[in-house]
């Protein structure tokens, strides 16, 4: 599995009920491919482990705990490579529709582990790619979000 194949699978499942659409796709893969998909997913999530991305998630979701930030990053992946790349490159201004809220997808990690368990008849090994201990970039205070991310703040606090 390479990055292009990973994003092709995400694109194939993208839309309403993305996890329900993803599981049958993963079920067709051999265990090694499912594990590789999980490794790439872990790497993409780690890449988004940044304070600026967390700030955007906080604004969009009306708050964002540690777990909520992980689920937000998983949701970002489900939106496809173009959305992921735009958010990673310049987070402010990517979210333009105030109706887009509750941007979390905890179930994505379970889809990978369940698919692997079914295919291999054992638990998936832990991903080798771990996020840094702290998000990259500059920490922020909630009161500074309007100034740091004016476009996103304006959309979600109009």
Cα–Cα separations (whole angstroms), residue 20 to 7, 39, 96, 120: 17, 20, 26, 20
What confidence tens digit (pLDDT) does each residue in 35-47 have?
999 999 999 999 9
As a whole number, the mean pLDDT across the chain is 95
What confidence tens digit (pLDDT) does each residue in 88-144 have?
999 999 999 999 999 999 999 899 999 999 999 999 998 887 778 999 999 999 999
Percent of the chain with pLDDT over 70: 100
**How many C-beta neighbours within 10 Å does residue 122 have?**
9
Q: Is pLDDT at 11 greater than 90 in this prediction?
A: yes
């Amino acid at each position: 599995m390479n990055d292009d194949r990973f994003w092709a699978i995400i694109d194939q499942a993208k839309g309403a009920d993305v996890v329900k659409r993803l599981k049958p796709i993963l079920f067709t893969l051999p265990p090694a491919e499912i594990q590789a998909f999980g490794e790439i997913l872990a790497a993409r999530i780690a890449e988004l482990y940044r304070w600026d991305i967390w700030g955007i998630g906080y604004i969009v979701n009306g708050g964002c705990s540690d777990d909520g930030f992980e689920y937000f990053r998983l949701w970002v992946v489900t939106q496809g490579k173009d959305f992921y790349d735009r958010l990673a490159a310049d987070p402010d201004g990517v979210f333009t529709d105030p109706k887009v809220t509750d941007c979390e997808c905890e179930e994505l990690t379970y889809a990978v582990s369940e698919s692997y368990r079914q295919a291999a008849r054992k638990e998936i090994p832990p991903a080798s790619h771990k996020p840094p201990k702290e998000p990259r970039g500059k920490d922020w205070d909630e009161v500074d979000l309007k100034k740091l991310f004016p476009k996103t703040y304006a959309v979600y606090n109009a």
